[in-house]
Chains A and B, each alone.
Chain A
Amino acid sequence: MADRDMQGPLLQVQNLTVTFQTARGPVHAVRNVSWHIDRGEVLAILGESGSGKSVSASAVMDLIDCPPGIIETGEIFYQGRDLLKMSRGLRRTINGKKIAMIFQDPLAHLNPVYTVGWQIEEAMTIHGMAQSKAQAETLRLLRKVGLPDAEVAAAKYPHEFSGGQRQRLMIAMALALKPDVLIADEPTTALDVTVQAQILQLLQELQAETGMALLIITHDLGVVAEVADRVVVMNKGEIVEQGTAAAVYANPQHPYTKRLMAAAPGQGALHEGEQSSPILELKDLRKSYGAFEALKGVSYVLHEGETLAIVGESGSGKSTTARLMLRLEKATSGQAIYKGRDLFTLSDQELFRMRRDIQMVFQDPTQSLNPRMTVYQLISEAWAIHSDILPKTRWKSRVAELLDQVGLHSEHMHRYPHQFSGGQRQRIAIARALALEPRVIVCDEAVSALDVQVQGQVIALLDRLKAEYGLSYIFIAHDLPVVRDFADRVVVMQGGRIVEQGPVRQIFEHPRERYTRDLLAASLDPDPEIQARRRAARLGKEVA
């Protein structure tokens, strides 16, 4: 085959238009999309949710369900041959073998009842490799993707691995057949920053070693800056811009790209908070689940009118502190002093009154809004519970007012949550929290599920409301650039402990602890040049 692929790119998509038939008429998922990728190249497809960034890759892998999907026009050439005109059988010899794919959620793509070693072997044996050879090859692959004790790892089941390790397994499986092209669909979105950096580094190393082409589909400018040679920017099913990663970042041409680059978090001015009186104080908070200690003595103070960010990776206990504070769970020991009273010892009645003062905005508005209630019902429920806030006759006008304040229209009142976009839903959730006229709002990863531009809008909204209502925020997040733009003070947590806390400038510019420095170094900057410098520094350090 090697002699045939001399001319033209390795994989080329030309004028691809894919339409999905829905009950509300046809929807163009992608329109006239063309891109190509060469051997040894890293191409990133960048886009927000609903931009159609995954669709062309799905078309390459024959993963589009027809119907409802229809490939209307276009060709996909792999080594000069049109994949779309091939027979199913012929395509199967290319899919998986020559073009492999890894996904965002590795757990969903690993079979829970087989050992991972068996699953990787299977990938090879179904394409005709001898069992014994496949076994040896599996161990070699597991070592290659950086899993310690390959023999032990091969005999384990998928649930016994962490998220990052599972993604390594998926990569091992994808590499089993030595593909020419590896497609990675949001490979690091579900992972912590430090793990994300490791996985991206692994992908780069493997790519350099095998000379395969790597196609990364992502929404994250940082990922593009870190790995991509070239980038294709998509919006609403169309390619708006393409070019080298550095050129697109430094000099975006299309208005959409310009907006996208401007919206990237981590570029704004740092907040300089002035000290005010404390409003909420946590003292030596502990929580154990059986023998496992989730929180090992956490203390911090929230001041009036400030935004306190709590950052940490998954399992650091940052959400647990919030859940304890709101009495969604019982603390094992410790105190939470609010207005001179310990929240943990309040009677039910006192707790009920306190609920008005401390509200929460959850991560995923799709789940935190009851799907069977209208926006009006959702927001007015606050007053149905606390009947002394507002008489029923004024509910309607107040809901309209709140919706207006969070940037929605009062006509939206009688719609249901599913009729809104993710960002709008989060606005509804914020309006609901405001309905109780709280003093403190806990935002648990409140913007993590949103697109970059929407994220910026919601952050701006939160900032504005803070000034208007005199609110204080506890902002739980894993995304450091967002925290940098929004927070006054930062608490860094790891493994149930506070590693470091201080004003945002101190944490971001002069971190004292090693863990904080690692966290900052692992977070990705949208500027490819900065990323290249960091990469060089990292490699230099490793060599030394």
Chain B
Amino acid sequence: MTETQTEAVPKTKEPGKFITILRLLWADKVATTAAIFVLIVIGCAILGPILLDGVATKANLRGRNAPPFDLSKGFLMILGGDQLGRPLLARIIVASGNTIAVATGAVVASMIVGSSLGLIAGYSRGRLGQVIPRLADVIMSFPSLLLAVIVLYMLAPSVGNIVLVLAITRIPIYLRTTRAEVLEIRERMFVQAAQVMGASTGRIIFRHIMPMILPTLLTIATLDFAFVMLAESSLSFLGIGIQPPEITWGLMVAQGRPYLTSAWWLSFWPGLAIILTTLSLNLLSNWMRVALDPTQRWRLEIGGKKNG
């Protein structure tokens, strides 16, 4: 046991982690498509407002409610024009900035806060374990829209405050899920095995419990992404969300609503953007759930080969 063996174990030729992940992604073509779409959206969100802001806010009364697929008014009008003749394509790209910022901000914030509270509630056997779930009950029993109206009436309706409000209303979802999972996983045998080895609480939580619940949380988060986008649009619709001339996809849907019978494209394109984004995120999270789980990973590794 005490022999000093310094020779290195021969390194097995293993591809890097990044390459492995890319290969696993490539194995699922649907997820690859979704990943590419998400990357495009993120690119638009970062670059769009810088490049296209001028075009997107310039009114052109001749092009009011211009129909889509008409290239005579220029490429930017391919998706049509809105009620002030602004090109929809440019507006969707610019709006993606605010939309993604609000949704990501709210989802990430609520996920971090909610799951941390859930971890504490689930792992501590003391009073905290009882107080925190009650906190979630309080938030859930309060109509979220009413909460938003009150908060945004008192504070100025800015992007930051909207993120704050949306995050608070979504916290209980993560909190409850995390707590329930922790309660179950805490009793698993491998957690006890770690305890017997003398693992600290932090180690047990972050090495043994967190990896088990992360896929669930990510799946909920992507579903929540869509919900948050729509919630933001309903706040905007009430006039306490994002204020024009700032735009988001939700706001665009709301603004196009009066024209639904005469110019469907006003609401349709931003709506489609919301659907495609959430759909892609869902597909991606579905892939991630499989890829993160060693016992499921073979489904990707064997590729799309059908057994026969």
Contacts and interface: CB of A to CB of B under 8 A. Distances in A.
Interface stretch (A83-91, A129-137, A353-361): A353-361
A212 to B, nearest CB: 41
B192 A328 contact: yes
Given A362-B192, A396-B9, A23 B197 contact: no
Contact of B307 (A23, A364, A381, A411): A23
B189 interface: yes
A418 interface: yes
Interface stretch (B56-64, B134-142, B158-166, B205-213): B205-213
A386 interface: yes
A436 B195 contact: no
A364 B196 contact: no
A416 interface: yes
Interface in B6-28: 7-9, 12, 14
Interface string B267-285: 0000000000000000000
A504 interface: no
Contacts of A401: 5
B295 A326 contact: no
B295 A418 contact: yes
A429 B212 CA distance: 20
Interface in A401-416: 401, 410-411, 414, 416
B196 A360 contact: yes
Nearest to B7: A397
B208 A355 contact: no
A384 B203 CA distance: 10
A362 B191 CA distance: 12
Contacts of B188: 367
A111 interface: no
Nearest to A326: B196
A326 B197 CA distance: 10
Nearest to A469: B1
B9 A360 contact: no
A436 B197 contact: yes
A485 B188 CA distance: 31
B196 A385 contact: no
B299 interface: yes
Interface residues of B, number: 32
A469 to B, nearest CB: 8
Interface string A429-442: 10010001100000
A372 B307 contact: no
A416 B198 contact: no
Contacts of B211: 372
B150 interface: no
A418 B189 contact: no
B193 A368 contact: yes
A433 to B, nearest CB: 9
B189 A362 contact: yes
Contacts of A290: none
Interface in A442-457: none
Contacts of A24: 298, 302, 307
Given A385-B200, A394-B5, A372 B294 contact: yes
Contacts of A396: 8-9
B195 A328 contact: yes
Nearest to A362: B189
B198 A355 contact: yes
B246 interface: no
Nearest to B203: A385
A23 B7 CA distance: 40
A368 B189 contact: yes
B194 A328 contact: no
B259 interface: no
A416 B295 CA distance: 8
A367 B184 CA distance: 13
A367 B196 CA distance: 15
Interface in B187-240: 188-190, 192-200, 203, 207-208, 211-212
B307 to A, nearest CB: 6
Instruction: Name the residue among A25, A352, A381 with the largest chain B CB count within 10 angstroms.
Output: A381
B5 A23 contact: no
A328 B207 contact: no
B293 interface: yes
Contacts of A23: 298-299, 302, 307
Instruction: Name the residue among A21, A369, A372 with the largest chain B CB count within 10 angstroms.
Output: A372
A385 B198 contact: yes
B295 A21 contact: no
A326 B189 CA distance: 14
Instruction: Name the residue among B197, B199, B295, B307 with the largest chain A CB count within 10 angstroms.
Output: B197
A419 to B, nearest CB: 8
B187 to A, nearest CB: 10
A21 B307 contact: yes
Contacts of A7: none
A201 interface: no
Interface string A335-369: 00000000000000001100110011010100111
A129 to B, nearest CB: 43
A397 B295 CA distance: 26
Contacts of B295: 371, 416, 418
16 contacts: A22-B307, A23-B299, A24-B307, A328-B196, A360-B193, A362-B192, A369-B190, A372-B212, A381-B199, A381-B207, A382-B197, A385-B199, A385-B203, A400-B9, A401-B5, A436-B197
Given A23-B298, A328-B196, A351-B198, 16 more contacts: A23-B307, A24-B307, A25-B307, A26-B307, A352-B198, A360-B196, A362-B189, A367-B188, A368-B189, A369-B190, A371-B295, A381-B197, A382-B197, A394-B5, A397-B7, A429-B193
What are the 4 A-B residue pairs with the smallest beta carbon separation, nearest first? Answer: A355-B198, A367-B189, A416-B294, A368-B189
Interface of B: 1, 5, 7-9, 12, 14, 188-190, 192-200, 203, 207-208, 211-212, 292-295, 298-299, 302, 307
Interface of A: 21-26, 326, 328, 351-352, 355-356, 359-360, 362, 364, 367-372, 374, 381-382, 384-386, 394, 396-397, 400-401, 410-411, 414, 416, 418, 429, 432, 436-437
